[in-house]
Amino acid sequence: MTPLLRREQFMIDTEARALALLKQSGIPGIPQIFHYNSRGNLRDSAFLMRHYVIGATLHEMEPWLTPQNRKDIDRRLGVLAQKIGQHVSDSFGTLEQVASGAGRRSWREAFVILFESILRDSEDVFVNLPYAEIRHQLSRLSPALEEITSPQLVVIDFGHPTQVLVDPESKQLSGVVDLGRTLWGDIYMAEMFEEPSLSMLDGFGRSRMVGSEVERIRQLLYVLSSCKEFGICNADSLLTAFNRYACYRSVERVTVQYYRNRDMIAENDARRRLTTILNKMAAI
């Protein structure tokens, strides 16, 4: 049996909840849920039935897309992320936590719990990581998350090329799939904000990314984007042109290699980025 990360144990339930929430809004590009059974008949396996979305993944279609095709897709992704984020809750956390009344009033607290979960996944399989330094920087910088007071619906890996579907004929966005990593939190947790194109930001409704010191700390914690290209940083900012992964995502990308067929190239890349991010965090 394939071992699961803690977050993966509830992915089908999370996707069912997310699809049910979004069904009420009728957002184009989000598949409709037909049926969800938390305990199926096949060895008590849960199952989910949803509408089939026609299209190939963005990862597969990339070689056949023109620059204009890609701009159109990115703009639509930005619009879609903004519409998803219009759904709000009264507390932060996973969809299961909030639905059961166990959500947190503070995004800082909810994010620390989320981060601690992936760190424990790493420790469970003896991944060699600088745990003390990661936890120190998380504790030191997490107060920057206190300014997030509205729990928005966010798909953490929204925008990942394997989860974006494109119509092979029109070369337009046909939908997104795999919403099993949805939570109530900060909209900028979405993967699309790692390296957002101008078209994505335009579709999302922002021509610039955030620029205050507190907001840049948030980016380091989970969604650090390209400062120089998109105008994130002020002229006096130390964070000029640093554009890679945030601490949480880097830890997760190292850890998942120990729960799957290990890809040493991907792991080493994630480790290098984690080291760079920790150095940036320490400099704040």
Please report whether residue 80 resides in a domain: no
Whether the CB-CB separation of 214 and 180 falls below 8 Å is answered with no
Burial group, residue 283, by CB count within 10 angstroms (0-12, 13-18, 19+): exposed
Q: What is the 3-state secondary structure (H, E, C) of 257-268?
A: HHCCCCCHHHHH
User: Is the residue at 260 inside a domain?
Assistant: yes
Question: What residues form DSSP beta bridges with 5?
Answer: none
Domain assignment present for residue 195? The answer is no
The structure's pTM equals 0.85
> Given the structure tokens 């095709």, which residue do they identify?
69
**pLDDT the model gives residue 210:** 52
Is 196 within a domain? Answer: no
**Does residue 243 lie in a domain region?**
yes
Evaluate whether residue 58 is within a structural domain: no
Work out the mean pLDDT of the chain and round it to a whole number: 85
Q: What pLDDT does residue 69 have?
A: 98
Which residues span the domain enclosing 122? 115-147+208-283
Q: Identify whether 235 is part of a domain.
A: yes
pLDDT digits (tens, 9 = 90+) for 215-259: 667 666 764 333 333 443 333 332 322 323 478 989 999 999 999
Angle (CA) 147 223 66, round 5° = 135
Number of domains the chain is built from: 1
